Amino acid sequence: MLVGIISDTHGHLPRAAYFELADCDHIIHAGDIGGIEILEELRTLAPVTAVLGNNDIPEYGDSVGRYAAETIGDVRFLITHTPSGLQRALSGRTSALAPGDPAPWAAVHGHTHVPRIEHGAEAFPARMLVCPGSPVRPRGGSMPCVAKLTIEDGAVRDARIVELRL
């Protein structure tokens, strides 16, 4: 199973991002969506799990909140927009995870526009921390990008940042 992760589209979904996510079985949008049409377009490719970013208004309905805990291909994901929100959720200071819930395999955030994939102490208590960067407003010297995770037998087997050629 292939999971595409995108964030910080701010109302623009470049064709290169759309085409890069076309082979995905599920898509995660980690906030700052910028309009319902972005989610509608992504849903033409695969099911979408999305969260609100600091620039989003609650126009997306009840299915899009500040946090999402989703199991995709037997891998638990915790998704929110900001790194600080993710840390609050992982430490149990929000309702994103219920008491006794297992730690997610992958914790996903956006907001920084700087792509990264971390393992070990940087991701704890998750096994992996993913920020896909931004396909429209990259920062920190990065290129426009998305992330892709390959899930097999209930585990993330490969995680990579994919630079987009616009």
CATH number for position 142:
3.60.21.10
Print the domain residue range for 158.
2-163
Asked if 80 and 66 touch (Cβ cutoff 8 Å), the reply is yes
The closest alpha carbon to 51, from 62, 37, 41, 43, belongs to 62
What are the φ/ψ torsions at residue 84 (nearest 5 degrees)? -70, -35
Instruction: For residues 50 and 47, give the distance between their C-alpha atoms in angstroms, rounded to a whole number.
Output: 10
Asked if 147 and 116 touch (Cβ cutoff 8 Å), the reply is no
Query: Which amino acid does the sequence have at 159?
Result: A
Asked if 93 and 77 touch (Cβ cutoff 8 Å), the reply is no
* Assigned token pair, 52: 């609100």
Q: Give the chain's mean pLDDT.
A: 94
The tally of domains found in the chain comes to 1
Q: Specify the pLDDT at position 86.
A: 83
pTM to 2 decimals? 0.96
* Assigned token pair, 48: 């979408």
pLDDT in tens, 19-51: 999 999 999 999 999 999 999 999 999 999 999
pLDDT in tens, 45-98: 999 999 999 999 878 888 899 999 999 999 999 999 999 888 888 887 787 887
